[in-house]
Amino acid sequence: ETGVTQTPRHLVMGMTNKKSLKCEQHLGHNAMYWYKQSAKKPLELMFVYNFKEQTENNSVPSRFSPECPNSSHLFLHLHTLQPEDSALYLCASSQVGTGIGTDTQYFGPGTRLTVL
């Protein structure tokens, strides 16, 4: 596997279900991100992890719970979601540093989530 992978690619869940999204990066990066992409809206940054430590949480509802066990893996645990949470969830990674050429985010293919 190369780059950033995400599983599953598609997920349909009811409002009472609990599910998890998985992201893995094979780039040796030290930062990982979760974004939400809804139709005709800009990508919304949800969570950021640097060296496994959460550094950003952009007022995301508690029904979304991130987990980062190491610098290569990132999870998004979902429970009691609402229909408006249906969207494409994108994972990204980057190498946070001070030099030119760092910080570029590389994205996975996304998980298309539908909440019924």
Partner 1 sequence: EDQVTQSPEALRLQEGESSSLNCSYTVSGLRGLFWYRQDPGKGPEFLFTLYSAGEEKEKERLKATLTKKESFLHITAPKPEDSATYLCAVQVYFNKFYFGSGTKLNVKP
- Residue ranges binding partner 1 (CB under 8 A): 4, 6, 31, 33, 40-43, 45, 48, 50, 55-56, 90, 92, 96, 100-101, 103-110, 112
Task: Residue 112: count other Cβ atoms within 10 Å of its Cβ.
Answer: 15
* Residue number, 16 or 28, with CB nearest to partner 1: 28
Q: How far is the CB of 48 from partner 1 (least distance, A)?
A: 4
Q: How far is the CB of 67 from partner 1 (least distance, A)?
A: 18
* Residue number, 46 or 115, with CB nearest to partner 1: 46
* Residue number, 48 or 81, with CB nearest to partner 1: 48
- Residue 46: both structure tokens together: 């949800």
Residue pair 10/109 in contact by the 8 Å Cβ criterion: no
- Max Cα-Cα span within the chain: 46
User: Computed from CA positions of residues 48, 91, 112, 65, in that sequence, does the dihedral angle turn out positive or negative?
Assistant: negative
